[in-house]
Amino acid sequence: MRGRRTGRKTERERLSTLPQLEKASRTLARAAKVLFEELELVEEHGTDLDVAVLWAALEESPRAPP
- Three-state SS string across 10-31, please? HHHHHHHCHHHHHHHHHHHHHH
pLDDT of 45: 95
The span from the CA of 50 to the CA of 41, in Å, is 11
* Predicted structure pTM score: 0.69
The Cα 51–Cα 33 span in angstroms is 15
Number of Cβ atoms within 10 Å of the Cβ of 30: 15
- Mean pLDDT per block of 10 residues along the chain (66 residues) reads 60 89 93 94 94 92 72
What is each CA distance from 3 to 6, 12, 13, 16, 23, in whole angstroms?
A: 5, 15, 15, 20, 32
